[in-house]
Amino acid sequence: MSIIKEMTVDKLKVKVYSSRDEMGKGAAADVTNKIKELLAEKDEINMLFAAAPSQNEFIASLLADKDIDWTKINAFHMDEYIGLSDDAPQRFGNFLKERIFSKVPFKSVHYINGGAKDVDAECERYTQLLKQNPIDIVCMGIGENGHIAFNDPHVAFFDDEKWVKVVDLDMKCRTQQVNDGCFANIDEVPTHAITLTIPALVAAEYAYCIVPAPTKAEAVKNTVEGPITEDCPASILRKHDNAILYTDPDSAKHIL
């Protein structure tokens, strides 16, 4: 794997790879090694996944390793739109089902139901699942506005009392979904979602954050070089004991 720069900012390790593909391979290699290390110590582990095109290279490389014992891994995901049809390809559960959840034999897969009639009850159900199954590894991205999961700056709280909640999505976040090719236009993008909160995300023992593309350059700069603030929710990763940020030359152009 071709790393062109490495550094540590506060507690956050930052790796810049020579290409987006190399970034995905590098992140997958680190996650694979951690999975095997943890499974040598315990019978099963819990993993939390992000659903976004930024994760494609990482997920593909992760699946290429045939030595991972997926039957000992419980899978979770970090957010879900409210209001999309059950079969909508944009639903994050469907995105992950297509790319990884249906590809390997997980011990269990726990979906957030964005179509639940009682969304508060759904938030509580998923909260209890997370508390009963502490996350060992979170594989995540960063949004153009610095969000992690759907914790956009205006709803991001480092000390949030909730672990799962309903949020409204800001315009920059919704526009990103169009930029990523997930929706044809802004009118199709839902206005609300269920998300794991920042305390739930950073409770994971190990955090691997995969962030390619020029559209993420500003968010990467703010995460790495800006203040640790809810104005850039991802900046909290600099306080995590075991977090690594993976970038490519496009996303890292302001920190090279």
Average the pLDDT over 52-60 and give the result.
Answer: 96
- Is 254 contained in some domain? no
E strands along 93-191, which residues?
A: 108-110, 137-140, 164-168
Position 107 in a domain: yes
pLDDT of residue 56 exceeding 90: yes
Pairing of strands 192-196, 79-81: antiparallel
How do 12-17 and 3-9 pair as beta strands?
antiparallel
Domain harbouring 18, CATH code: 3.40.50.1360
| The one-letter amino acid at 199 | P
Residue 210 lies in a domain: yes
Residue 104 lies in a domain: yes
pLDDT of residue 1: 59
The answer to whether residue 179 is domain-embedded is yes
Measured distance between the N- and C-terminal CA atoms of the chain, rounded to whole angstroms: 18
CA distance 81 to 97: 15
Residue-level pLDDT at 37: 98
Q: 3-9 long-range contacts, Cβ below 8 Å, gap at least 24?
A: 4/249, 4/256, 5/252, 5/256, 9/224, 9/225, 9/238
Edge to edge, what strands does the sheet with 192-196 contain? 79-81, 192-196, 164-168
Cα–Cα distance, 200 to 109 (Å, whole number): 18
Q: What percent of the chain has pLDDT over 90?
A: 98
Q: What is the pLDDT of residue 245?
A: 98
The token pair at 93 is 């559960």
Which tens digit of pLDDT belongs to each residue from 142-152?
A: 999 999 999 99
What is the domain extent for residue 54?
A: 3-247
Q: Is residue 39 part of a domain?
A: yes
Token couple for 231: 């104005």
Contact, 60 vs 101, CB < 8 A? no
User: For 127-179, what is each residue's pLDDT tens digit?
Assistant: 999 999 999 999 999 999 999 999 999 999 999 999 999 999 999 999 999 98
The answer to whether position 112 is within a domain reads yes
Estimate the crossing angle of helix 56-64 against helix 20-39, to 10 degrees: 50
How many structural domains comprise the chain? 1
Is residue 64 assigned to a domain?
A: yes
